[in-house]
Every structure is written in C-alpha cells, then in structure tokens.
Amino acid sequence: MSSSGATLTASAVGSGELSYQWFKDGAPIPSGTSATLMFPTVQLTDAGLYSVVVSSPWGSAGLSRSNAARNRDTNTN
C-alpha cells in the first residue's frame, strides 16, 4: 500500500523575525524549524502528537497541537 504526503502548517503574525520549532510527542524535530512541516510519504512511525512553538525576539508567540494518525485503506473489494 502506498501513502501520499502530508503537510502541517503554522500561521503566525508578529513584528520582527519569527522562528518555528516543531515537536513530535514533546520532542523537538531537528528539521522542523520552518512554518511548514512536510511529510513527502506518510509512514506509520509518523503518527503522533505534533506541536509547534513560534517565537520572536520578544518571546514565544504560542503553541498549537495536531494529532496526526495514519489512515488505513480498509476497502476489501
């Protein structure tokens, strides 16, 4: 079974340069440092609780959470 990709996007407004840090199940994702977290091919190991912290030079702008789970094709034609 092949899987298509997925994208998580954070939207924030603030003055100064904004920085992003994505987390999976509370652990920082080393490559997750932009507003968009992309999964070219979704794997079972990608399932989990995702969050992002958006920061500016004046502090953290917020925290958002997304529960990502893999859907299985259960069609038995």
Which ranges of the chain does DSSP label H, i.e. alpha helix? none
- Counting Cα atoms < 13 Å in the Cβ hemisphere of 24 gives 15
Q: Please, which pLDDT band fits residue 68 given cuts at 50, 70 and 90?
A: low
pLDDT at 77 over 70: no
pLDDT at 70 over 60: no
Number of domains in the chain: 1
Is residue 54 domain-resident? yes
Q: Which domain holds residue 24?
A: 17-38+46-68
Is residue 77 domain-resident? no
pLDDT at 71 over 70: no
Q: Tell me the mean pLDDT in the region 2-11.
A: 84
The closest of 5, 24, 8 to 70, measured between CA atoms, is 5
Is residue 75 domain-resident? no
Is residue 12 domain-resident? no
